């Protein structure tokens, strides 16, 4: 049997949106989220320019940068559920997701090795293995493992877990009534919002660092992915009722640049932003379905969204490399010039990675195999 059952249950409402509809606004929003992560990393990791006062202001402004990962996790569930193919197979799905992610990860890992050797850093084979197998996010209380080599790849550890579970989750959620889909979105959001309140209890019981179980651990981030799946099915069925694009984006900006700076620290990872991100993703998708105007559908922003995954993979290494080079040669640049230089180099690397690794990798590894793949019951 297939990954997604071709026979829908009798109680299932008819879907009103075409799954082939291009969701360009969501692609454009990917760039905005990637840029937020870049700004956060630049603020907290840049060390070759800028005054302490200016860097302090930048850190304060971008405190909620890590929440953009939550946006990507919700968006991942949404896009996969939106584009899920009827009659697809588990192995076919896994193969396509591997092709989409792993070639770029492998190449940037090799770049990270070269960078670390250039910097005179020690290479740890055990950490390298955890990075290559994308298991680094399962190791408690080890920032050296989480962020070893290309540090941003820790989130791929979560994404691979999501991809593994998707074939078993989607057949179940597709059978939900509209009411159950709404309950999944609402209760999922409430879980993410309330979860940090139990930080001290979990830390006392397990000895785990709060960042590990709030931010890193893949099973604990699964709820955001599931929210995205249920949200996509509601939008496809024309059952979503929420604010429009302007209000949703405004709420997201208020949460990122305002609310996250005043709530307790453990809430800034995702609790503060999960609700407005959910609203924004749904509003953007609905705007694309209805053909409503959207600033995120601009062709240049859409292309930046297409290269955003590659940009995410390369940007932190560019930050570290520029810091090291400037410090070694005693260069001091104005903060804005340094930021512009790092963005430009990161974007150039992202375009090269996207065009010459990511796209060819997807084309090569996604080819259908002649033998019939093994399938599971939906």
pLDDT tens-digit profile of 252-262?
999 999 999 99
Q: List the end-to-end C-alpha distance of the chain, in Å, as a whole number.
A: 7
Percent of the chain with pLDDT over 70: 91
From start to end of 30-128, where are the E strands? none
Whether the Cβ atoms of residue 154 and residue 131 lie closer than 8 Å to each other: no
What pLDDT, on a 0 to 100 scale, did the predictor assign at position 86?
76
Dist. CA 194–CA 247, nearest whole Å? 24
Q: Which of 332, 314, 312 is nearest to 323 (CA)?
A: 332
Q: Has residue 302 got a pLDDT over 70?
A: yes
What pLDDT, on a 0 to 100 scale, did the predictor assign at position 305?
96
Dist. CA 226–CA 269, nearest whole Å? 18
Whether the Cβ atoms of residue 209 and residue 203 lie closer than 8 Å to each other: yes
| Mean pLDDT of all residues in 152-171 | 96
| Mean pLDDT of all residues in 309-329 | 94
What pLDDT, on a 0 to 100 scale, did the predictor assign at position 373?
47
Dist. CA 13–CA 26, nearest whole Å? 25
> Residue 332: pLDDT band by 50, 70, 90 thresholds?
confident
Whether the Cβ atoms of residue 84 and residue 171 lie closer than 8 Å to each other: no
What pLDDT, on a 0 to 100 scale, did the predictor assign at position 18?
59
Within 10 Å of residue 204's Cβ, how many Cβ atoms? 9
What pLDDT, on a 0 to 100 scale, did the predictor assign at position 20?
61
Angle value at C-alpha 281, between 279 and 284, nearest 5 degrees:
105
What pLDDT, on a 0 to 100 scale, did the predictor assign at position 369?
54
Q: Which of 2, 151, 152 is nearest to 86 (CA)?
A: 2
Average pLDDT, the chain: 89
Query: Which whole-number Å values give the CA distances from 237 to 64, 80, 231, in the listed order?
Result: 32, 16, 10
What pLDDT, on a 0 to 100 scale, did the predictor assign at position 181?
97
What pLDDT, on a 0 to 100 scale, did the predictor assign at position 14?
43
| Mean pLDDT of all residues in 283-311 | 94
Percent of the chain with pLDDT over 90: 75
Dist. CA 84–CA 108, nearest whole Å? 28
Dist. CA 229–CA 8, nearest whole Å? 17
Q: Has residue 7 got a pLDDT over 80?
A: no
Q: What is the pLDDT of residues 31-87, one digit of tens each?
A: 999 999 999 999 998 877 777 777 888 888 999 999 999 999 999 999 999 998 777
What pLDDT, on a 0 to 100 scale, did the predictor assign at position 5?
37
> Residue 8: pLDDT band by 50, 70, 90 thresholds?
very low
Q: Please give the model's pTM, rounded to 2 decimal places.
A: 0.90
Dist. CA 330–CA 328, nearest whole Å? 6
| DSSP structure string for 145-190 | HHTSSSGGGHHHHHHHHHHHHHHHHHHHHTT--HHHHHHHHHHHHH
What pLDDT, on a 0 to 100 scale, did the predictor assign at position 182?
97
Q: Has residue 378 got a pLDDT over 50?
A: no
């Amino acid at each position: 049997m297939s990954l997604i059952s071709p026979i829908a249950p009798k109680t299932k409402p008819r879907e009103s949106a075409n799954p082939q509809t291009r969701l360009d606004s969501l692609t454009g929003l990917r760039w905005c989220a990637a840029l937020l992560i870049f700004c956060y990393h630049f603020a907290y990791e840049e060390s070759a320019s800028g005054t302490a006062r200016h860097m302090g202001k930048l850190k304060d402004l971008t405190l909620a940068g890590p929440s953009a990962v939550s946006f990507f996790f919700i968006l991942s569930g949404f896009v996969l559920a939106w584009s899920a193919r009827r009659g697809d197979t588990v192995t076919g799905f896994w193969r396509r997701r591997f092709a989409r992610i792993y070639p770029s990860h492998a190449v940037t890992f090799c770049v990270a090795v070269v960078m670390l050797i250039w910097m005179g850093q020690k290479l740890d084979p055990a950490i390298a293995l955890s990075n290559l197998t994308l298991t680094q996010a399962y190791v408690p209380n080890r920032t050296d493992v989480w962020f070893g080599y290309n540090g941003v790849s820790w989130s791929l550890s979560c994404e691979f877990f999501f991809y593994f579970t998707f074939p078993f989750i989607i057949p179940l959620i597709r059978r939900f009534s509209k009411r159950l889909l709404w309950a999944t979105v609402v209760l999922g959001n409430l879980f993410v919002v309330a979860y940090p309140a139990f930080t001290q209890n979990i830390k006392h019981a397990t000895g785990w660092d709060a960042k590990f179980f709030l931010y890193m651990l893949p099973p604990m981030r699964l709820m955001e992915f599931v929210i995205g799946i249920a949200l996509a099915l509601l939008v496809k069925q024309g059952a979503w009722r929420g604010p429009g694009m302007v209000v949703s984006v405004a709420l997201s900006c208020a949460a990122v640049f305002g609310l996250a700076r005043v709530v307790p620290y453990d809430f800034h990872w995702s609790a503060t932003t999960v609700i407005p991100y959910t609203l924004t993703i749904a509003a953007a998708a609905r705007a694309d379905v209805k053909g409503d105007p959207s600033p995120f559908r601009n062709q240049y922003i859409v292309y930046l969204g297409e290269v955003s995954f590659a940009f995410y993979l390369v940007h932190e290494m560019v930050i570290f490399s520029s810091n090291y080079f400037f410090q070694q040669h005693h260069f001091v640049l104005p903060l804005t010039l340094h930021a512009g230089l790092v963005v430009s180099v990161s974007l150039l690397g992202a375009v090269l990675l996207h065009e010459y690794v990511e796209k060819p990798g997807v084309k090569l590894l996604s080819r259908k195999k002649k033998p019939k793949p093994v399938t599971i019951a939906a």
